[in-house]
Structure 1
Amino acid sequence: MIAPYWGTMLDCPDPVALAAFYQRVCGGSLAVVTETFAELRLDAFSLGFQRDLNYRAPTWPEPRVPQQAHLDFKTADLDAAEVEVLAAGATKSVLQPSPEVFRVYLDPAGHPFCLSTWGTPVGPPESR
């Protein structure tokens, strides 16, 4: 191993606000908070948020500005989790390719993320 995985870094215009949004979504603790960077520590890794004054939100599903990356979160109750992420500041994407298994949202900075039943008792069987 060269280096262990630390976490994912998301560029955004307001790191503190985006870290607070994801803390509402998945818990964790804010370990570092400055004007230009915030770290949300979770059990197995961290999410980092860094200020980019030239940040352009993805236009997914339209490819003009690619989504760059997205995060997935497990839930056994899509409806209840949807209510909570919307209350936290997310918006629901118009495009929902498979809403019975996963739903697509946009965080306050425009990054797509999904809630999914994959890997939960109510989700589809996982096969390889």
Structure 2
Amino acid sequence: MNASIRVTMHTYVLDCPDSRALAEFYASLLGWEVDASGAEYDWVNVLPPEGVSTSFRLAFQQVQNYTAPVWPDGPIPQQAHLDFRVSSLTEATPIALAAGATLHPVQPGENDGWTVFLDPAGHPFCLTD
């Protein structure tokens, strides 16, 4: 079978303890906008600013008894993470920290232009230049 689905929207969804708070973190980090129209279902989207053409968005789903992944080794492994390419890691790092990210103590790519952070819910994400 050679058929495939035609995707018109790509959404990366993160489970978290507070969907609104994590959406606000990523909106602040990326300069995107929070769309809380699904908040009554504990679901909040983060969309690129109006006028930016993309078929990608982030979404945050609030779950009870959320437990953050422990990376690189731990009882709750990371199953996925976000990577963001930036024009300057030196300029982006303080912005990420001011938005609420924390530097992860393990930095395997620090000599290769990769920095690992944790978002406020404990999900790892990377910035690279």
TM-score in terms of structure 1 length: 0.84
The answer for the alignment partner of 2:18 in structure 1 is 14
User: What one-letter code is carried by the residue in structure 2 that aligns with 1:21?
Assistant: F
RMSD: 1.4
Q: Deviations over 1:58-92 (max 9, x none)?
A: 11012311111100111121121110111110010
Post-superposition offset of 1:109: 0.2
Matched, 1:2 2:5: yes
Alignment of 1:66-81 (within 5 A): 66-81=77-92
Among all aligned residue pairs of Structure 1 and Structure 2, give the percentage whose two residues are the same amino acid: 44
Q: Structure 1 regions of 5+ residues with no counterpart? A: 118-128
Secondary structure in 2 matching 1:72: strand
User: Which runs of at least 4 in structure 1 moved beyond 3 Å after TM superposition?
Assistant: none
Alignment partner for residue 26 of structure 1, among 22, 26, 30? 30
Provide the TM-score with structure 2 as the length reference.
0.84
List aligned pairs for 1:1-128, cutoff 5 A.
Answer: 1-4=4-7, 5-33=9-37, 34=39, 36-42=42-48, 43-44=53-54, 45-100=56-111, 101-117=113-129
Q: Point out the more displaced range, 23-32 or 79-88.
A: 23-32
User: How many correspondences in the alignment?
Assistant: 117
